[in-house]
Amino acid sequence: MLKSLDRNLNKLYKFSGYVAAFFLILVAVFILIGISSRIFGFYLRGLAEYSGYCMAAASFFALAYTFVEGGHIRITLFLEKLSGTKKKFIETWCLSIASFFSGYLAFYFVKMLIISYKFQERSEGADEILIWIPQTSVAIGSTIFFISVFHQFILTIKKD
């Protein structure tokens, strides 16, 4: 059962990476449309805001995938010099701290999303979109990141 859960979580992280790539493509599309609109003399409201929302979504959806693939800056230079029990203790300690802070971050992003939805807040940009719509991707991405850090924490504890 744990192997199945591990496999499904890794699929979730990979899917999160694909979602991040999709949002990066949208950033490029919105920027190209903005450039084209200036060249051809028409105006589309909110393109700069939408590309910013997509960039935030791409950043947060990429967190979990990048973490699992080892792309984040870690303490590996320090851990290389350690071995055995000391290495496992330091790695477990660091992952416990990272789990706490990523969980804290995810909790407050979800809380911010709920408050924005409850009060129907709108963005201050030209688009005046309901702000909970772009905040949803940030909340989901940070939650998946917390899951990935906590997952790595559990795997480190389980490791012999």
The CA distance from 122 to 119, in Å, is: 9
pLDDT by residue (tens digit) across 4-29?
888 999 999 999 999 999 999 999 99
Vertex 59: Cα angle to 55 and 62 (nearest 5): 135
**pTM of structure:** 0.88
Give the whole-angstrom CA distance, residue 23 versus residue 12: 16
pLDDT in tens, the chain (160 residues): 778 888 999 999 999 999 999 999 999 999 999 889 888 888 787 888 899 999 999 999 999 999 998 877 766 777 778 788 888 888 889 899 999 999 999 999 999 999 999 999 998 877 788 999 999 999 999 999 999 999 999 998 987 6
- Residues whose CB is less than 8 angstroms from the CB of residue 8 and which lie 6 or more positions away in sequence, other chains included: none
Domain coordinates in residue numbering, the chain? 2-158
The answer to whether the beta carbons of residues 144 and 16 sit under 8 Å apart is yes
One-letter identity of residue 41: G
